[in-house]
Amino acid sequence: MNKKYFYNLSILFLIFVFALAIHRSAYAAFPVTERIPYSDFKKLIQEDKLEEVILDTTTIKGVLKAEEGQTFKRNVTTVKVDDPDLIKELVEHSVKFSATAQNGTSQYLYLIWFIPMIIFLIMMTRARRGATGAGLMSIGKSRANLYIDKDTGVTFDDVAGVDEAKEELKEVIDYLKKKKKYQRLGGKIPKGVLLVGPTGTGKTLLAKAVAGEAKVPFFSISGSGFVEMFVGVGAARVRDLFAQGQEKAPCIIFIDEIDALGKVRAAAPISGGHEERENTLNQLLVEMDGFDTRKGVILMAATNRPEILDPALLRPGRFDRHILVDRPDIKGREEILKVHCKNVKLGNNVDIKIIAARTPGFVGADLANVVNEAALLAARVGNEAVGMDNFEEAINRVIAGLEKKKRVMSKKEQEIIAYHESGHALVAESVPGADKVHRISIIPRGIAALGYTLQLPTEDRYLLTRSELLDRLAVLLGGRVAEEIHFNEISTGAQNDLERATDIAMSMVREYGMSEKMGPMTFQNGKKPQFMDIGFRTGRELSEEVSKEIDSEVKKIIFDIHARVKDILAKNKDRLQILAKLLMEKEVVEGDELRKIISENIPPPKKESSV
């Protein structure tokens, strides 16, 4: 039976019971409970069959634990006997008990409310038991999905291909190890470290390694684990988590998938679930502000969607240290493979370099998967060692799995991207007003979709000249034009570039007065008036004619630049090819390398003067 169906049925049943209860109460009788002798009642306690007991002045009511396959629990009732040992026994067998001073009909009235409540709670408990492995009694205790490792046993040697992140985390380890020394020197230590990167790149592993290196306990909990059904539970969990952390300090508290609980608050439509999430988030903020780093509790969190996080979480004193954990390049993949092959018997023909080259876009988790799969394949056919053929097949299997999740680039896509990026780079090196190329990479960047929150300089803060703007436009168009020249075909890959180019051209005409035809004037009121904007900036309405003129000026700028870029790249067709091929081979080419290689092969591209 389908779970949802079962759930709906249960709700119906509950309503039915409830209606029945009210109906029955009219006759002051409520025969849902089974009457049993006191001796049987005691036996139930001994056999651990009771879940809860309610003591009345004259009767004792017991709720039996649900048996397999039952949707609700049986109740029993017995006449109260003078038995001084009862309470002791109840405690011994951990039966929950409570007393009520009521009797007579009012007792039944109480039951009317109580029984559906119990049934409801039972159903809730059962529903959540599957998910969290915890029962009714542990609601509110973070025990349910809080994991504590006294010693993670993970070291930095187990994490490969993320050297920059490791370097940054060394400071944290140092602090945890020599807390006293840091305090004496008044060193400032981050409270919260946010690891940002695609899933499977080793963020959790890194956090564990920090705990392992510093030899401190590791508390971990998942942000999605905070999303609770009951009001107040999430906040209670956060409180509990921090209380435990403070107790065991120095330690690391790690919150995985923090985005599940730290989404921007106002963005979500109002509903009960969100309110609860907000309470939890607020509690987290309160705890973060309240706890004292000097005790040695370091908070770490991971996300693959930093852009949706509530800015309050990222403020100074909270998660103010961000560390990027990106997809590994070919060298990183080689190192990760080595880590995972450590305990695998490899055949003589296995070349890890080749495996690394065959797996662009794979993250650490995918590579671990490949090694695992290869070992299984080898074992299945009874091989002594894992051979290259096993790896080949394992890679194909993992790729098939990833393709379903749309995470793998085909060879053709890779080629297009290589030419596209080479186009940007070559134009950037050819025009005087563009920034120098620092690095070109064709590694699929899951993080690019994240809007590069971690990248700093925003372009429009600078004072730029007209020719510099035009050069920037040229670089932006470089990708698209390279595709046109090499493939005689264009792809959707340039969408973002074109958007930005159009924006720049638009600003040149409308805001900076940089179009000769339109003259040194601004035409800003194309922007929609803001809600609170009344009276500002909204006075002038552009005529249709002027709007048309603006559009044609923008178009002219873009078309001129396009022609110019086409000219540049047509002259550098060979360089484009050399660079693209190198990129496909190495995936990452550093700026200096690029300049060196280009000047070695063919005389360096002549610097063109800008239009």
Binding window for ligand ADP (CB under 6 A); candidates: 17-25, 195-203, 399-407, 496-504? 195-203
Q: How many residues does the chain have?
A: 611
At 102 the three-state DSSP class reads coil
Q: Determine, following the binding rule CB under 6 A, whether residue 344 of this chain makes contact with ligand ADP.
A: no
User: Cβ(378)–Cβ(385) under 8 Å?
Assistant: yes
CB of 366 to ligand ADP, least distance (A): 8
Q: Determine, following the binding rule CB under 6 A, whether residue 302 of this chain makes contact with ligand ADP.
A: yes
Helices (H) and strands (E) in the chain, counts: 21, 13
Say which residue the tokens 């000249």 belong to: 465
Beta pairing, strands 251-256 & 297-303: parallel
Reference 140, options 48, 259, 229; nearest CA is 229
Minimum CB distance to ligand ADP smaller for 254 or for 291: 254
Minimum CB distance to Zn ion smaller for 415 or for 497: 497
First-residue to last-residue Cα distance in the chain: 72
List CB contacts of 521: < 8 A, sequence separation 6 or more.
513
Minimum CB distance to Zn ion smaller for 489 or for 541: 489
At 171 the three-state DSSP class reads helix
Residue closest to Zn ion (Cβ): 479
DSSP bridge partners of 256: 222
User: Cβ(583)–Cβ(486) under 8 Å?
Assistant: no
At 251 the three-state DSSP class reads strand
User: Cβ(214)–Cβ(463) under 8 Å?
Assistant: no
At 18 the three-state DSSP class reads helix
Could you say which of ligand ADP, Zn ion, none residue 572 binds, taking C-beta under 5 to 8 angstroms by partner kind? Answer: none
Residue numbers 163-182 binding ligand ADP by CB under 6 A: none
Residue closest to ligand ADP (Cβ): 364
Q: Determine, following the binding rule CB under 5 A, whether residue 497 of this chain makes contact with Zn ion.
A: yes
At 597 the three-state DSSP class reads helix
Could you say which of ligand ADP, Zn ion, none residue 162 binds, taking C-beta under 5 to 8 angstroms by partner kind? Answer: ligand ADP
CB of 446 to Zn ion, least distance (A): 17
Say which residue the tokens 């409270």 belong to: 191
Angle between helices 411-430 and 466-487 (to 10 degrees): 150
User: Cβ(259)–Cβ(223) under 8 Å?
Assistant: yes
Q: Determine, following the binding rule CB under 5 A, whether residue 484 of this chain makes contact with Zn ion.
A: no
Q: Determine, following the binding rule CB under 6 A, whether residue 364 of this chain makes contact with ligand ADP.
A: yes
CB of 478 to Zn ion, least distance (A): 8
Q: Which residue from 479, 514, 564, 572 is in contact with Zn ion, where contact means CB under 5 A?
A: 479
Q: Which residue from 107, 204, 359, 610 is in contact with ligand ADP, where contact means CB under 6 A?
A: 204
Minimum CB distance to ligand ADP smaller for 255 or for 350: 255
Say which residue the tokens 């309160």 belong to: 286
The residues annotated with a catalytic role in the active site are 421
Kindly provide the residue ranges of all beta strands, DSSP E only, lying in 225-327, ordered along the sequence.
251-256, 297-303, 321-324
Binding window for Zn ion (CB under 5 A); candidates: 198-206, 313-321, 411-419, 495-503? 495-503
Distance (Å) of CA 233 to CA 117, 228, 274, 312, 341: 18, 6, 13, 22, 43
Residue numbers 389-418 binding Zn ion by CB under 5 A: none
Minimum CB distance to Zn ion smaller for 444 or for 479: 479
List CB contacts of 420: < 8 A, sequence separation 6 or more.
479, 480, 482, 483, 491, 493, 494
Its sign, for the CA torsion 115, 117, 121, 123, is positive
At 4 the three-state DSSP class reads helix
Neighbour tally for 611: CB within 10 Å: 14
Could you say which of Zn ion, ligand ADP, none residue 200 binds, taking C-beta under 5 to 8 angstroms by partner kind? Answer: ligand ADP
Could you say which of Zn ion, ligand ADP, none residue 313 binds, taking C-beta under 5 to 8 angstroms by partner kind? Answer: none
* Site size toward ligand ADP, by CB under 6 A: 17
Q: Which residue from 63, 86, 159, 221 is in contact with ligand ADP, where contact means CB under 6 A?
A: 159
CB of 424 to Zn ion, least distance (A): 6
Binding mask 243-282 for ligand ADP (x = CB under 6 A): ----------------------------------------
Binding window for Zn ion (CB under 5 A); candidates: 35-43, 278-286, 290-298, 478-486? 478-486
Could you say which of ligand ADP, Zn ion, none residue 479 binds, taking C-beta under 5 to 8 angstroms by partner kind? Answer: Zn ion
Could you say which of Zn ion, ligand ADP, none residue 262 binds, taking C-beta under 5 to 8 angstroms by partner kind? Answer: none
CA gap 198, 409 in Å, rounded: 16
Could you say which of Zn ion, ligand ADP, none residue 497 binds, taking C-beta under 5 to 8 angstroms by partner kind? Answer: Zn ion
Write out the DSSP string of 398-435: HHHHHHHTT----HHHHHHHHHHHHHHHHHHHHSTTSP
Question: Exposure pattern of 435-456 as b/e (b: 16+ CB <10 Å)?
Answer: eebeebbbbbebbeebeeeeee
List CB contacts of 41: < 8 A, sequence separation 6 or more.
60, 62, 76, 78
Structure tokens, 544:
């249709």
Could you say which of ligand ADP, Zn ion, none residue 336 binds, taking C-beta under 5 to 8 angstroms by partner kind? Answer: ligand ADP
Q: Which residue from 368, 416, 506, 579 is in contact with ligand ADP, where contact means CB under 6 A?
A: 368
Binding window for ligand ADP (CB under 6 A); candidates: 10-18, 203-211, 484-492, 525-533? 203-211
Q: Determine, following the binding rule CB under 6 A, whether residue 160 of this chain makes contact with ligand ADP.
A: yes
Could you say which of Zn ion, ligand ADP, none residue 365 binds, taking C-beta under 5 to 8 angstroms by partner kind? Answer: ligand ADP
CB of 338 to ligand ADP, least distance (A): 9
User: Cβ(176)–Cβ(231) under 8 Å?
Assistant: no
Q: Which residue from 205, 233, 417, 569 is in contact with ligand ADP, where contact means CB under 6 A?
A: 205
Q: Determine, following the binding rule CB under 6 A, whether residue 194 of this chain makes contact with ligand ADP.
A: no
Minimum CB distance to ligand ADP smaller for 368 or for 594: 368
Minimum CB distance to ligand ADP smaller for 234 or for 328: 328
Binding window for Zn ion (CB under 5 A); candidates: 445-453, 490-498, 525-533, 597-605? 490-498
CB of 353 to ligand ADP, least distance (A): 17
Neighbour tally for 484: CB within 10 Å: 20
Binding window for ligand ADP (CB under 6 A); candidates: 34-42, 158-166, 177-185, 545-553? 158-166
CB of 332 to ligand ADP, least distance (A): 7
User: Cβ(494)–Cβ(565) under 8 Å?
Assistant: no
Footprint on this chain of ligand ADP (rule: CB under 6 A): 159-162, 199-205, 302, 336, 339, 364-365, 368
Footprint on this chain of Zn ion (rule: CB under 5 A): 479, 497
